[in-house]
Structure 1
Amino acid sequence: MKRFRLRYADWSWREYAAIAACILRGRIAAGPDAGRLAQELNALYAPSAAHALDFGHSALRIALDAFRELEPGRKEVIVPGYICPSVVDTVRAAGLEPRAAEIGPDLNIDAAAVRSLLGPDTLAVVVPHMFGCPAAVGEFERMCRQAGVFMIDDAAQVVGERVEGRLLGSFGDAGIVSFAQSKAVVTGVRGSGGILLVNNPRLQDALARRCRGLAPARGRLGALADFLWNYQWRGVTGNSGYYLLRLGRLLGRARPVSGPMALISNLDAAIARVQLARLGHLCAEKKRVADAYRQALAALPSVSLPQHAPGRYLSRLMVALPPETDVAQFRKDLALAGVETRLGYANAVTPGRPDTPNVAAARRLIGLPYTGTLQNDAINKICSILTKCLLKQDLPASRNSTSHETHHTAHQR
């Protein structure tokens, strides 16, 4: 049985060649690629200043520390109610309090909800482009300036896309980009890279000073092996990484914990430079695949892609199922039929509080296999399996979708 697996990075031989060159030359932590990457990022994001770090959340922490130094009396940071847990953890680690705002149907933070939460204790607003779907970032920039609060343009999952003629990440006072798995640029996992963008020139000296005091990240070969074995090569290695991890724990050799904040390593910078050089192709292929999924799912009116728009880049393809769907059983059925899926974020910004309706709906979305290498016949097969698994649950909406296979085979190539 053919399996359709999740993919966490679209790498070519060029990325592996860059890895080999760094290893053979002994340039893992330090080397010329880190400086060259900084130059390329500064050229891409000008007039914003770019600082290449080990994590996207390192960039967030540095920005929040600088904001708090300027406004020590303010303690609240507004974030979406549906958000990557590392954002919430970083806000708390900075000694600040995250405050959840409602999200819209596209999973992005809602402007009206943020406006209602702004107050004298608000230090900053974090505006992510969830899974690459662009938020109304210009509106947030104007709102935050008028309110006198800082804004962070969280473009962790998207590189090179523009809104209002400006690159995502370049709005507000500071921006964030991540190079971890399932992003636009992928160099690995666990500290493989991120960018702090300084968009407000008045903050440049304070933020640059914090970055200059950091050393290059270390331990990157082990992290690379983790990424390759447990993510990139999982079609071959299967679940062996899980059992190796369990064995390591029994032997007292648990997976290493990331160290203090650092600059990006030369190894990760070398991979990032290759990914950036291929960015136009990578994004174009993701757009093609998303549009093909939309065509293939057109005969399933009960299923939707809440973030899709023609020609829009997305880092993940999240699918909304009929509300009656038993999501856990549906995913098991898909897995038995050879289709891997994943859920989105399960963390609560404020533990103990019930989810809002939009956040609750977002937690039921599933991510389908989504890589630029997928061709239409594979996409059509995945959607055919999805249809059959919905029919297996005997949902009222799915019983009207029996024409799906006839529809989507017209788009094969």
Structure 2
Amino acid sequence: MPRIKLHVAQWGYKEILLSLRLFITGRSILGNYQGKLSHFLSKAYDLNHATFLNSARAGIYFSLLAMKEKKIDANEVIIPQYICQSVIDIIESAGLKVVKAKVGEDLLLDISSVEASICKQTLAVLMVHMYGKIADIDTLSSLCKKRSVFLIDDAAQTAGEYHEGKTLGTFGDSGVISFSQSKTITTGVKASGGILLCNNKNLQPRLTQLTSNLEHSVSRLPAFVHFVMYFLLQGVWRKLDYYISRISTKLKNKRKDYYSPITNISNLDAAIALLQYKKLTENKKNIINSLVYYKKLIGEFKSISAPQLCLENSFLTRLVLRSHVISPDNLATYLNQRGIITRFAYQSGSKPYNGSPDSGLLEIPLVGVSIDEINFIASTIVEAEKELA
């Protein structure tokens, strides 16, 4: 029986060798790769006001602090109802209230819901390009400008993508790009790097103050080992990593917090990000090839759709299915028993389909799969529909 991994990073031997070299030479934390990455992004993507942090989440946090000082009476942030829990956590840690707007079938913000949610207390709207699919930038930008609300361009999952000649992340008053797992550019597990982009000259001075004296991370080795075992090797190593984490948590009597404290990006993460940016075109081409083949087979499914499947979306790292009849839990069990590794979606997304776009979702392999493996995945899903529906 084949074992088809759900890859969350497009890593090869170059990333491994570069990481080992930086650890051996003692340059995993400090070095000159942040400067090299900054220079490359300025030349290749015209990103000239970039601040490199240990997560995109940190960029959202600092953006909200600066925005709050400009609109003292506002305390609400509008986000998509389908989103990573860490985003909700960071908004609340900034002392602000989360307001969830509806999403459409493609899991992107529903414009009418956003418009209805804006009020006097609204500080900002978080525009997310979910799973790499571009949001309705023009309409949201116009709406926020009209209603005097800040816009954060969350391009966490779309590093290097353009819209009308501009890089995603540069359309809001501020923007963020992530290098965490399951992103187009992946340097490691959580807190492995991100970019804060400021596009509002009135916010820039305060953001510079907030980010100018950040500390450097203490060590990247534990997170690197965890990433390699859990996300790259998987299999028995994933189970071993799980038990090591459980034992470590029990001994320390507290849960590991990957996000705190906020620091500058490490030299290791900047180095891997630079390497991955340089091979981004090649990686996108491989994703498109897989999407083309999936698209040919998706018509065979009777009660399962792929809301993010379009050939323009070259920034997916895993394919999202929406199962209208079979629960995500049952479908995942069926596929896993046949060697296909899956992953549950954010929060309510993993619940059985209830008519809402953010339900009945399950992530299946996309990056690093062969044509034969895609055929096997598709035929197994067809069998699941016959047996479980």
- Shorter-chain TM range is over 0.9
Q: 2:15 and 2:127 mapped to 1: Cα distance?
A: 31
How do 1:204-283 residues align onto structure 2 when only pairs under 5 Å count? 204-235=204-235, 237-252=237-252, 256-258=256-258, 259-283=260-284
The normalised TM-score by structure 2 is 0.94
Report the Cα distance in structure 2 between the residues aligned to 1:384 and 1:355, rounded to whole angstroms.
22
| Partner residue in 1 for 2:141 | 141
Tell me the equivalent position of 2:361.
Answer: 365
Shift of 1:47: 5.5
CA contact (8 A) 1:138 1:164 kept: no
Q: 1:209 deviation in Å?
A: 2.2
The 5-angstrom pairing of residues 1-400 of structure 1 reads 1-46=1-46, 49-235=49-235, 237-252=237-252, 256-258=256-258, 259-313=260-314, 314-321=316-323, 323-346=324-347, 360-371=356-367, 373-393=368-388, 395=389
- Once residues 141 and 114 of structure 1 are traced to their aligned partners in structure 2, the CA distance between those partners, rounded to angstroms, is 12
Report if the CA contact (8 A) 1:343-1:364 is conserved.
no
What do the CA deviations read for 1:149-188 (whole angstroms, capped 9, x no partner)?
1000001111111222222111110111111100000000
Task: Provide the identity percentage.
Answer: 33
Whether the 8 Å CA contact 1:53–1:196 is kept in 2: the answer is yes
Q: Which runs of 5+ in 1 are unaligned?
A: 349-353, 396-413
Query: Is the CA contact (8 Å cut-off) linking 1:81 and 1:102 kept in structure 2?
Result: yes
Q: Distance in 1 between matches of 2:269 and 2:296?
A: 37
How far does residue 93 in structure 1 lie from its aligned partner after superposition? Answer: 0.4
Letter in 2 for 1:63: S
Per-residue deviation at 1:294? Answer: 1.2
Offset of 1:256 from its aligned partner? 4.1
| Deviation, structure 1 residue 43 | 3.1
Shift, 1:347, TM fit: 5.7
Q: In the alignment, is the contact (CA less than 8 A) between 1:291 and 1:310 conserved in 2? A: yes
Contact 1:245 1:254 in 2 (8 A): no
CA RMSD of aligned residues (A): 2.1
**Distance apart, 1:251 and its partner CA:** 3.6
Query: What is the number of equivalent residue pairs in this alignment?
Result: 386
Q: Offset of 1:254 from its aligned partner?
A: 6.0
Deviation at 1:120, TM superposition (A): 1.1
Bigger CA radius of gyration? 1
Instruction: Give the whole-Å Cα distance in 1 for the aligned partners of 2:120 and 2:255.
Output: 42
Q: How far 1:40 sits from its partner (Å)? A: 2.0
Distance in 1 separating the partners of 2:76 and 2:22: 42
Is contact 1:158-1:168 (8 Å) kept?
Answer: yes
Would the aligned equivalents of 1:106 and 1:306 in 2 still touch at CA under 8 Å?
yes
Q: How far apart are 1:241 and its partner, in Å? A: 1.3
Distance 2:332 2:251 in 1: 34
Q: SS of the residue aligned with 2:202?
A: helix
CA drift of 1:291 comes to: 1.9
Structure 2: gaps of 5 or more residues: none
Is the CA contact (8 Å cut-off) linking 1:48 and 1:198 kept in structure 2?
A: no
**Letter aligned with residue 359 of structure 2:** R
Would the alpha carbon gap of residues 238 and 216 (structure 1) be closer, same or farther in structure 2, given more than 3 Å must change?
closer
Write the distance in 1 (CA, Å) between the matches of 2:91 and 2:265.
21
Q: For residues 347 and 85 of structure 1, do their structure 2 counterparts lie closer, same or farther at Cα, with a shift above 3 Å needed?
A: farther
Superposed CA deviations along residues 25-57 of structure 1, whole A, max 9, x for unmatched, are 211211101221122233344265111100111
